[in-house]
Chain A
């Protein structure tokens, strides 16, 4: 699915600045953010939390069969990144040889183009990660 303009606009804070949240009732951090804390439900107290963008590779895969929109990207490395503050997220690891990525590699966030709606369409931006040298 090509994400629409309004959806892209609504997600700008999270995708551009890693704006997530936390539940202060049970001290759990969430990224992507959640409206409801699954542990506390209506007793939860959700507050904004900006993530520092540092983390470690939890798992990774070099993708050679792309979904629609990523045909020109292959091969690319997709990873589960465990953020310093706790949550994991799904993102690409860029600016390195795939063989350089290992489980446990330290990474930090970079702001990049994620995908584009055809030749003249909207360009979608967001987070990717780079290995810490």
Chain B
């Protein structure tokens, strides 16, 4: 296997963007990443694009070809990757494997979702497809309800409270307020969260990541070559993915995502590192409880202590570990197919020292954690600065 580096990163402004369509956003992100890499388009020999639900949300399939065409990159092979909300992270892993194996030399990995063309209940139904259509969605399940089950059991088993969960949202909004690409650049209080409308008890509107339009892209190449393009290559030192049951009801435990644990253990083994070696991480906070599960399952905190750690500020910028400096899915926004790639963009910027006001100090090693559905897919990457 060859070593692989990220040499370019870019994203579109996340948000509810009625002025721009699916194509505009991914072209914006792709062009930014390629310009940032300072490479010519004819060097690109492969593309992987994460998109979850374009068929349902904009009526468009065949996304790989569409994007290669409108990026002006034909005839480069371009492949769509779908793994629900982990589509972007899995696309990154496909790109990583393509370069590591020697099959491709310069690969663009993109992620994109256009979610605001349809009604909120249409979006809920489309996202519901990440679960088990015949046995969960058919019965009236929604994703907030599935995560509500996890929250309820975590509260019962470990004494996690709604206030602890609210602190995840408050912290992520604070980080997002320092990110010009974020959907929400306003700070909120614990009171805002606790008094917001209930969606699926005990989860409220402010426990949930929003509906977002957005795109993100990175450029990958062999590490040895990367040094001739940039002084600041970011090396991907681990890439791991695991699967679990598609339906939540088939899990032994609701208070952890087993696929996260397995992917994380594999990634740390590949990198020959431990959780304490990570300074900055983008984790999958599709709901506030999801960030609490993530920081426990990734090994940053003991099982059951994630809520308390968050409330004590241990995951805030420049504390014990800086979690979701971008604002996470909650603050920065969650255009589902783009999220896993956006996480890689943020960690690349952090490791290069381009985090601006939200820069984590001494950021040498970063981690991304992207989840599909209620945890049926989990993908973890570890990145290191030169």
Measured CB to CB, the residues of A under 8 A from B are 1, 3, 7, 11, 32, 58-71, 73, 76, 78, 80, 87-92, 98, 103, 114-115, 124, 126
Contacts and interface: CB of A to CB of B under 8 A. Distances in A.
A60 B201 CA distance: 8
B199 A65 contact: yes
Nearest to B245: A38
Contacts of B120: 65
B227 interface: no
B250 interface: yes
Interface in B136-152: 136-142, 144-145, 148-150, 152
Given A66-B142, A67-B140, 15 more contacts: A1-B133, A3-B134, A32-B247, A58-B153, A61-B148, A61-B202, A62-B201, A67-B125, A68-B125, A89-B249, A90-B135, A90-B139, A90-B248, A115-B138, A124-B138
How many B residues touch the partner, as a band? 35 or more
Contacts of A73: 140
B253 to A, nearest CB: 11
B198 A90 contact: no
Contacts of A126: 138-139
Contacts of A115: 138, 140
Contact of B149 (A1, A65, A80, A87): A80
A68 B135 contact: no
Nearest to B135: A32
B124 interface: yes
Contact of B248 (A62, A70, A80, A114): A80
Nearest to B204: A64
Contacts of B140: 63, 66-67, 70, 73, 76, 78, 92, 114-115
Contacts of A88: 249-250
A126 to B, nearest CB: 7
A90 B200 contact: no
A73 B129 CA distance: 20
A73 B140 CA distance: 9
A2 B138 CA distance: 9
Most B C-beta atoms less than 10 A away, residue of A68, A80, A88, A89: A80
